[in-house]
Amino acid sequence: MFALKSLLLLVAIASANALSSTLQQVTANFGSNPTGVKMYQYRPTKLATPTPLIIAMHYCTGTAQAYFQGTSLAQLADQHGFIVVYPNAPTSGGCWDVASTATLTHNGGGDSLGIANMVRYAIANWGVDASRVFATGTSSGAMMTNVMMGAYPDLFAAGSLYSGVPYGCFAGPNAWNTQCATGQLIKTAQQWGDQVRSGYPGFTGTRPKVQFWHGTVDTTLYPQNFWEEIKQWTNVFGVSQTPTSNLTSNPQSGYSRASYGPNVQAILAQGVGHTVPEHETDTLDWFGLTNLTPGSSTPGSSTTAPVTTTIPVSTPSPTGATAAHWGQCGGIGWTGPTVCASPYTCQVSNAYFSQCL
């Protein structure tokens, strides 16, 4: 009897997670694609009309198929009626080109042009609502999300990126930028903002709003990148770097959500490394698609507002261990060394991150 009940439970779970469609490669010519990015789509059997589109970009070593299987975006597409396009990076290591001048320039080439033309193709051929196109991604895919927000602000309404770096932080001749990755590339808000504006010179339209997530113990793309992203996007939108609200334990314990007006949102995850797990329903809320259903044309968003609180500043206390140059040495939730190797000293960047400088 127990075995039968277990089997029935497994069948019920499988049925609940079953998808209405499958991931399909788009083999049609979708436009200029100089690096050979491949295009895969998940199109649920029932669509909202007009139909939103989400571009979902995988991490290094990943693939379109892996990101399709590893996130719940397809299940949410069935529930809400949007289309998901999963681009597949052309490099052998599965990383996106977020460094070349071509990819960082509107219609300049690189991986970003291939992805932009996927969006244009979907709008022209699938009935996609041009005003509701969004991007999300993890790690390298998060970096590419930032690239798309900067180089193609005319195509996207919003982006949500997990464990990335500022737009243009990897710019240069090499695919990997250690200075950026380790949080050593520090710029003023104006410099970062100018870098975004250089992606599409002369653009005067509405910029896509941006949400980014980062872990406090990320040793692949150091958490200083989170604070540089705040500087960058608050400058792009012309708002203060002082949050208009700070929400603790949001969306879960150990996370905090800072809002800088309606267009910039930064979520920091205490004790989380690389990468922050995708919170797809939260991302969907940021895109304004939470209340969308197949056949409907009016998206909605969550009306639940958590209590706003002020986040206190943490003062590091010595632990006896030492942190290396550029290493983290303090901040809210930090449990590692708080004394820096000579001759460096622990300097507070913000409430969450102190660094040996």
Residues with a known catalytic role? 139
Classify 264 as helix, strand or coil.
Answer: strand
**Rounded Cα gap, residues 91 and 303, in angstroms:** 42
DSSP state of 190: H
The residues, ordered by sequence, that sit 6+ positions from 29 with a Cβ below 8 Å of its Cβ are: none
For residue 289, CA distances in Å to 136, 150, 280, 305 come to: 14, 22, 11, 17
Total Cβ atoms within 10 A of residue 313: 11
CA 288 from chain center: how many Å? Answer: 16
Residue type, 29: N
Classify 228 as helix, strand or coil.
Answer: helix
The first and second tokens of residue 172, run together, are 């240069």
Strand partners, 57: 137
Dihedral, CA of residue 314, residue 318, residue 321 and residue 323, to nearest 10: 50
DSSP state of 45: S
